[in-house]
Structure 1
Amino acid sequence: MLKFLIGLPVLGIVVFIHELGHFIAAKLCGVEVESFSIGWGPVLFRKKIGATEYRLSGIPIGGYCGMKGEQAFKEAYQQKLAAVPQEEGGLFSVHPFKRILIAFAGPFANLLLAAAALAVVSALGHTYYTTDNRIVPVYCFEQTDTSPARDAGLQAGDRILQISGEHTPTFSDIQRIVSLHPDEELTLLVERNSEQLSIPIRPLLNKKTGAGQIGIYRYVPLEIAAVRKDSAADIGGIQTGDRITGIDGTPLDNQMALMYFLRDYTQKTALVQLIRNGEAIELPVHIIRTENGGVDLGLSWNYLTVTEEGTGVVRSLQKGLSGTGELLGVTLKSLSLLFKGLSMADAVAGPVRISSMIGSFATDGFSENVKAGVVNIAEIVAVICVSLFLMNLLPIPVLDGGLIFTACIECILRRQIPPRVLYYTQFIGIAFIATLFVFALWADILYIIK
């Protein structure tokens, strides 16, 4: 609940910026804005300035921009008129090109917010933790695994140096490239025993996440970075700097091998083989299982710390714009995956899930430091803004894209679309939005249950 409450205002700002775009464009195009609200629901405060009533409403999710004559086509249809009556300051009384500008301004404002958010990320710089480019295939531990890594013959300890010509010095680089290319042929440059191999591979589409995957884990050596006080490892005498080499005589050399070994371990005490200061020792460690059946030894491992330094104003703006362009491409590609069997329940998220995601990013970041919290929020805001930009431009009635589409038709035909056509096309849009709402609501319910 706390994460939801943290994320809700951020989501509200994203929607508010969208409506502010419509507001500014409407004013510039001579369309009268009758109401502009921060938030939805019951009005807590209102003040009329000129022709616009400014409102503060009770539900802090975005806002709305009520323009004069938005529903004029409905009234014209009900009165069986051949055209929408012209009225000064009405939305359907201005030139269709101005309606296009007004409709486009909302999504465009979100796009500008995405660029600004990514510019902030670049300006602040950020630090993240990863491992090097060594990998461990899933099939090494799961005999039933049929992932591309098995077919490609990847082995534990392989280093993936490049993917289709792009260098991959860290596991995060490998994840990023693979996830963006589901069901596409890639070429891995793999280093194995000082020999370099070129291996073709085709990532599978994860129908829950929409990401590509090849069936690999990161290779984390069993070099101990920290031992939690009073944990099983601490009580057993394991120290920071030790390197685990095996348990009960079974050789182990990476974190996943250790995890899978302990998953099926039935003894209450394990004899852990270690290297300490170049000397081999053995220590008995009592096995403590968690509520979910896992084993918690209380150990932390060494990870790579990657720091990207902050940039100046000009460079930050450039990074913000280029990053937004890249994000647009990725999001368009993600939308196309809906036609490849992507799970709608997982692909579509409602306000509860989105707010909770924002809250999770925020709390995870702020738990480290303020800069990390701001960077995390800015990154997910950029993703949401780009998604809103594209979704709102779909040529579906009720959405901004629907208004743009009908205005474009009027520009081409050089005459107004009959009110009857506009009225009935609204039902198509309402049906689409209602269906999307049901999916989003169901996704939120599943998310809450999980």
Structure 2
Amino acid sequence: MTIIIGIIFLGILVFLHELGHFLAAKLSGVKVEAFSIGMGPVLLHKEWKGTDWRISLLPFGGYCAMKGEQDFEEYYNGNSQIDHNSFYGVKAIFRAFIGFAGPLANFLFSVLAFFIIALTGYTYYSAGNTIRLATEQYPELHSAAKEAGITSGDRIIRINEKETEDFSAIYTEIAAHGDEDILIEVERNGEILNFIVHTDLDKNTGEGKIGVMSDETSVEPRQAVRYSFFPALYQGFSQTFKLIYLSIKGITTLFKGVNITESIAGPARITNMLGETARSGFSAGFREGCVSVLQFMALISISLFIMNLLPIPILDGFLVLTSVVEAVFGIKVSPKAKNIVQYAGIALIAILFTLAISGDFHYFSELLNAKK
């Protein structure tokens, strides 16, 4: 059931991404021949208003097939017989718009998700911001906080000038700054002290750590702030841009020796995690379940936004880049150059996909072993 729930929610994100391409194509005057949720053999289909709407066997991914997408060589060679309602029959700026619309749909979904969360508010459980050193319970661990002079009983009230009202905020801020110097402001016996702490980097997760633990006795329900319409809309954009920043920052940690098979999740693991998030979230209450699902879907949606805008052939980013260059400078990519770059792009995607599948296999193997 967990997998089925995950497939449904992941399918929603794929649908929105492809719907972005579909709407942009329609607005640009390009005929959409097929629209599919899923890849591979077609299970169900129905033609409606000139488009073949499909549900395909493999539930990961989808496509929006436009008329004349394969006519690149004819277009490059100046073939005047290309239909005006085909992909290469419209101006380059419209092709850029079509390519960008899919990732844009994922961006807008994230804004909507965080807008709804800010508008409705939610209850979450967290310990307070009084910490204890992890070395007191686990002497073998390294504690960057201890080395910097922080002691058990200190209240961490700010990190990099951002207020940390509870341990959840402390964890979030530290996790985003692996192998970096951070400014930690603590309250100790009524006195405010500042410490520069160099965080450790967890090679399995890519997260920062400083070797502190929460006071478990201080865990209590806390209420997230509920905003009115326009402040909530601002939060939607603010949290989305923050997520983009953190996602790009997370990608950079891959070059710091992070275990890639642990850090990169493939489709199976993402689906399982999404389903598990929904199941555990809704078990705590309807509003909490909605918030958990929306937060996780926003994370995946922004990952799709960033990934698809990479200037790699077979991804939207390459189409956007080449179309903008053509629209602005009148320079067309030759078929030979496109093919060379495309093969390189396919090889890179294949390597990343293999790493992701390998990570999924390792993840589920450990999960099964833990249940034995």
With normalisation by structure 2, the TM-score equals: 0.91
Name the amino acid aligned to 2:128: D
1:219–1:49 CA distance, 2 compared to 1 (3 A): closer
Q: Secondary structure at the match of 1:187?
A: strand
Distance 2:249 2:118 in 1: 24
Name the amino acid aligned to 1:216: V
Q: CA deviation at 1:140?
A: 1.9
Distance 1:50 1:325 in 2: 37
Describe how 1:392-411 pairs up with structure 2 within 5 A.
392-411=308-327
Describe how 1:74-113 pairs up with structure 2 within 5 A.
82=77, 86-88=81-83, 89-113=85-109
1:200 aligned partner: 196
Q: Residue 361 in 1 paired to residue 357 in 2?
A: no
Distance 1:442 1:174 in 2: 32
1:192–1:314 CA distance, 2 compared to 1 (3 A): closer
Q: CA deviation at 1:84?
A: 6.4
Q: CA deviation at 1:375?
A: 0.7
Q: Secondary structure at the match of 1:48?
A: strand
Bigger Rg, which one: 1
Contact 1:113 1:382 in 2 (8 A): yes
Q: CA deviation at 1:165?
A: 2.5
1:292 aligned partner: none
Q: CA deviation at 1:379?
A: 0.4
Q: CA deviation at 1:303?
A: 1.8
Contact 2:322 2:332 in 1 (8 A): no
Describe how 1:273-352 pairs up with structure 2 within 5 A.
303-352=219-268
Q: CA deviation at 1:308?
A: 2.0
Distance 2:340 2:30 in 1: 24
Distance 1:308 1:371 in 2: 12
Distance 1:189 1:415 in 2: 54
Comparing 47-56 with 371-380, greater Cα deviation is found at 47-56
Distance 1:46 1:195 in 2: 68
Q: CA deviation at 1:312?
A: 3.5
1:83–1:341 CA distance, 2 compared to 1 (3 A): farther
Comparing 54-63 with 166-175, greater Cα deviation is found at 54-63
Q: CA deviation at 1:53?
A: 1.7
Q: Secondary structure at the match of 1:339?
A: helix
Q: Residue 133 in 1 paired to residue 129 in 2?
A: yes
Q: Secondary structure at the match of 2:216?
A: coil
Describe how 1:42-57 pairs up with structure 2 within 5 A.
42-57=41-56
Distance 1:161 1:420 in 2: 58
Q: Residue 442 in 1 paired to residue 339 in 2?
A: no
Name the amino acid aligned to 1:364: S
Structure 1 gap segments, 5+ residues each: 222-301
Distance 1:47 1:166 in 2: 53
1:30 aligned partner: 29
Deviation sequence 1:39-59 (CA, Å, 0-9, x none): 333323333234322223344
Contact 2:14 2:37 in 1 (8 A): no
Q: Secondary structure at the match of 1:396?
A: coil
Q: Secondary structure at the match of 1:143?
A: coil
Out of 423, 428, 437, the residue aligned to residue 344 of structure 2 is 428
Name the amino acid aligned to 1:358: L
Distance 2:50 2:191 in 1: 74
Q: Residue 376 in 1 paired to residue 372 in 2?
A: no
Contact 2:114 2:236 in 1 (8 A): yes
Q: CA deviation at 1:83?
A: 5.2
Query: Pairwise CA RMSD of aligned residues?
Result: 2.1
Contact 1:114 1:385 in 2 (8 A): yes
Distance 2:92 2:15 in 1: 25
1:397–1:194 CA distance, 2 compared to 1 (3 A): same
Q: CA deviation at 1:85?
A: 6.5
1:161–1:48 CA distance, 2 compared to 1 (3 A): closer
Number of aligned residue pairs: give it: 365
